[in-house]
Amino acid sequence: MLGKRGLLPCALRRLLASSLFSSRSHSSCARQHPSLPSVKPPVAKKIPFTFSAHGKTWEDPYRWMSDTNDSDLVEYLSRENAYAEAFMADASRLHQRLVGEMRSRMPAKVSTPPECWGPWSYYQYIPEGKEYPVLCRRLRHLDSFAKAILSYMRSYREEILLDWNEIAEQYGMCYVHIGACRISPDHKLLAYTLDISGNESFSLQVKDLESGHVIPSSKVEGVVSLAWAGDSRCLLYTVCDETQRPYRVFSMQLGSDLVDKVLFTENDRSCCVYVINTKQVNDGLWLVRKRVSGVQYFLEHHYGFFYILTNAPLEGSNSTGDGYYLARCIAEKSSLAEWQVIVLPGQDTIFQDMDIFQEHLVLSIQQKGLPLSCSLNIPIDLDLEQHVELKDLNPWFFPVPSCLSSISPGSNHDFSSSIYRLVISSLVMPDVVVDYDMEKQDFTVLHQEEVVGLNGQVKSSSSDTTVFPNVGITEFQKDQYSDKRKWKRWTGLSEAFSCERIEVVSHDGFMVPLTILCAQKTKHNGESPCLLHGYGAYGEVLDKSWCSDHISLLLRGWILAYADVRGGGEGSSHQSGTRALKMNSIYDFVACGTYLVDKGFVHKNRLAAIGCSAGGLLVGAAINMHQNLFSAAILKVPFLDICNTLMNPSLPLTILDYDEFGDPRNPSEFQIIRHYSPYDNITQGCYPPVLVTASFHDSRVGVWEAAKWVARVREKTCRTCSRSVILKTNMNGGHFGEGGRYIHCDDTSFEYAFLIKAFGMLDDDK
């Protein structure tokens, strides 16, 4: 369950009442339909239920589905699964062919480069033919005397610390998800959280790495986050309340009979609490500053100072949450209120995160919408009477490829190291693991994801490293590289695939970033099929990292497009798509779809949309408003029944979602949520083919949201068109599916086969 929202402008009321919604017609359906099975879709039972709020009354005959203990719900979902299988029967060969294609691109064995921490090198790999990873370590290269000692104490070999596959076998291969996973500072203990049901209820376990056994007394249910204290005996962890809100911090003393001690309880139900690394907890907790709505503080300790990344209002400003900057204070309880602003981001730059080391501070930033990372030498020696912009501190921007879309940090445990690890990726470049040496201002490409089985269909190419192209990112940095040797190169697929980023004008003049991916040979002549991705919530941008599965569509002439609508992104881009402004997200998405058709990228009858979770709300609302724009859609674990869900604060995560979507207990916010809620605005008319997926144990978006939406579409819309709406429920997994390496191929290939069938292209694929 993700999302909520608020206030409806008069223009929207007129829009919803306009002729955008075609009248219902069973006899003369205007749509061209894919082949339909001989069996009819299930009809859900209806139980009268009347709901009233803020002077309005409405019927919800499918409310009974919210009781997951009702055997009728399980029976109904089973019938829907059977109908989905019947609908896709003529696409089964294509489905299996796609599975084969996707698996053939995977190397037999996958491993990560070792990451050094203390005397050990840690790494993961997925054994050949297995679904899940194995966490391992080896002792690093030591001198002969140390080797002799260690060889006497234990064999100088690979140690398997945690094997996800063994855990899966132990629990019957139903579902396995490892959440947090933390090695103690002395490298003797491993704390991890385990979910075997899919409902994200994690249990804590601590493994003694010397004996290989889990410590029985360490098991705790409902744990979210973990952190070791510096002594490696005290483990901090947070637990959830009944709504899955992390609210209480405990300390566990390993090797003692002491009861776990409560360190902190967060009583405000709109807030969460997490724990991060700490050296010791004997001095208790310090309050940094009193809570202010919308203001966040992230602290890192460095030799007597706290460096603080915050969006607190600057002096002379009344606004909060506009953007982050870097401040500093002395690391004493009496000095926590005496902040000194030291670094502002500068124009077109956004600070997103920071990490601190003995001699360097790493900043994750966004510049003109693209991700970058840079390092600063610390301690920062400044006249603290004034603050400066980032460019004035001569930062070293980590060189990245020109096609960059995604940057993710590695573990980077070693505080004393000058090496910082990143995984960089793009839609046309397989993931690259890179170590950046901040002292030498150099970098090493350690590993790049292998893509196999292309049979000469795709030609790879080397790409020069560059920090600046297309973006004008750091003009003040260019001189740093002018005299350097030629940078290393990495391999991309830009000769085979084209990726461009443009901006689309939305209804109010806002420029929506739209990324378009296609094969170089694909011509923009208005004939191509396209899959448009959208999300638009929680400040998250769409994932535009490498995925070899995409090749199956790209080589068939498809275009993949990514609309970074408001509600996603940082600062104003996020805020202008939340609460009373949520309609901006939907307008942005529709504008991008219209642009793709009008500019000849896509055939007008071959535009599909896909949204996951809160993105399902976006796509579902867009379909209600513009039935004829989209010719197919995929809604994955979608948040569709937003109004009814947010009216029930006892459901998991609901109260936390009020900041994002609004609180329908407020009359004005209820009005706007009610008017764009996908479930509440299904209209009479012809809906496109839609694949809706759900998970029975999903604790974020209840399985009933998808089931209710499908049942109401079948009830209210064209009976012929609604036969192309199918519901596929995973009865074992949770919000994120089952997560195995090969399992996901079956799900993705099913989605692709559905799209190809929906567009009547099965004959083209024989």
- Find the DSSP H helices in 154-276: 164-170
648 phi/psi in degrees, rounded to 5: -115, 90
CATH number for the domain harbouring residue 204: 2.130.10.120
pLDDT class of 466 with cuts at 50, 70, 90: very low
Per-residue confidence (pLDDT) for residue 276, from 0 to 100: 79
Per the model's pLDDT, the better-predicted residue between 313 and 725 turns out to be 725
Residues whose CB falls within 8 Å of the CB of residue 29, separated by 6 or more in sequence, listed in order: 686, 718, 720, 721
Residue 4 resides in a domain: no
Neighbours of 452 (CB within 10 A): 11
Is 352:366 a contact under the CB 8 Å cutoff? yes
Residue 56 resides in a domain: no
* Residue at a domain's end among 467, 492, 517: 492
Question: Are 509 and 637 members of one domain?
Answer: yes
pLDDT class of 562 with cuts at 50, 70, 90: very high
Determine the Cα angle at 507 with ends 505 and 513, to 5°.
35
Is 721:31 a contact under the CB 8 Å cutoff? yes
Question: Are 299 and 246 members of one domain?
Answer: no
Q: What is the C-alpha separation between 44 and 650, in angstroms, rounded?
A: 26
Question: Are 136 and 225 members of one domain?
Answer: yes
* Residue at a domain's end among 262, 286, 310: 286
* Residue at a domain's end among 261, 286, 311: 286
Residue 32 resides in a domain: no
Asked if residue 668 has pLDDT above 60, the reply is: yes
Q: What is the C-alpha separation between 245 and 272, in angstroms, rounded?
A: 6
Question: Are 269 and 319 members of one domain?
Answer: no
Per-residue confidence (pLDDT) for residue 543, from 0 to 100: 93
Per-residue confidence (pLDDT) for residue 145, from 0 to 100: 52
Tens of pLDDT, residue by residue over 327-371, are: 999 988 878 888 888 899 988 899 999 999 999 999 999 887 789
Q: Which of 165-169, 369-373, 502-506 has the highest mean pLDDT?
A: 502-506
Residue 269 resides in a domain: yes
Q: What is the C-alpha separation between 522 and 602, in angstroms, rounded?
A: 11
Q: What is the C-alpha separation between 532 and 516, in angstroms, rounded?
A: 9
Question: Are 641 and 575 members of one domain?
Answer: yes
Strands 632-636 and 607-612: parallel
Residues whose CB falls within 8 Å of the CB of residue 660, separated by 6 or more in sequence, listed in order: 2, 3, 4, 5, 537, 538, 578, 579
pTM of the model: 0.90
Strand ranges in 39-86 using DSSP code E only, listed in sequence order:
50-53, 56-59
Residue 361 resides in a domain: yes
Residue 456, phi-psi category: left (phi > 0), alpha (psi -120 to 50), beta (remainder): left
Question: Are 239 and 317 members of one domain?
Answer: no
Residues whose CB falls within 8 Å of the CB of residue 563, separated by 6 or more in sequence, listed in order: 504, 512, 513, 514, 532, 533, 534, 542, 588, 589, 592, 593
Residue 303 resides in a domain: yes
CATH number for the domain harbouring residue 507: 3.40.50.1820
Question: Are 258 and 324 members of one domain?
Answer: no
Tens of pLDDT, residue by residue over 173-188, are: 667 889 999 999 999 9
Per the model's pLDDT, the better-predicted residue between 455 and 532 turns out to be 532
Question: Are 634 and 753 members of one domain?
Answer: yes
Q: What is the C-alpha separation between 677 and 693, in angstroms, rounded?
A: 18
Question: Are 514 and 488 members of one domain?
Answer: no
Q: What is the C-alpha separation between 164 and 27, in angstroms, rounded?
A: 54
Per-residue confidence (pLDDT) for residue 14, from 0 to 100: 26
Q: What is the C-alpha separation between 752 and 764, in angstroms, rounded?
A: 14
Question: Are 87 and 146 members of one domain?
Answer: no
Q: What is the C-alpha separation between 173 and 179, in angstroms, rounded?
A: 17
Instruction: Indicate the average pLDDT of the chain.
Output: 87
Per-residue confidence (pLDDT) for residue 582, from 0 to 100: 97
Strand ranges in 449-573 using DSSP code E only, listed in sequence order:
461-464, 489-492, 497-505, 511-519, 530-534, 559-563
Q: How far from 376 is each of 14, 329, 348, 390, CA to CA, in Å?
A: 53, 18, 19, 9
Per-residue confidence (pLDDT) for residue 401, from 0 to 100: 86
Residue 582 resides in a domain: yes
How many domains in the chain? 3
Question: Are 410 and 485 members of one domain?
Answer: yes
Question: Are 242 and 365 members of one domain?
Answer: no
Residue 40 resides in a domain: no
Query: Which range has the worst mean pLDDT, 493-502, 586-595, 625-634, 639-648?
Result: 493-502
Per-residue confidence (pLDDT) for residue 483, from 0 to 100: 40
Q: What percent of the chain has pLDDT over 90?
A: 66
Q: What is the C-alpha separation between 108 and 720, in angstroms, rounded?
A: 45
Is 166:131 a contact under the CB 8 Å cutoff? no
- Range(s) of the domain holding residue 555: 10-15+70-104+496-765
Q: What is the C-alpha separation between 184 and 161, in angstroms, rounded?
A: 13
Per-residue confidence (pLDDT) for residue 460, from 0 to 100: 59
SS3 72: helix
Region 393-413 average pLDDT: 89
From the list 395, 396, 418, 398, the residue with the least C-alpha distance to 408 is 398
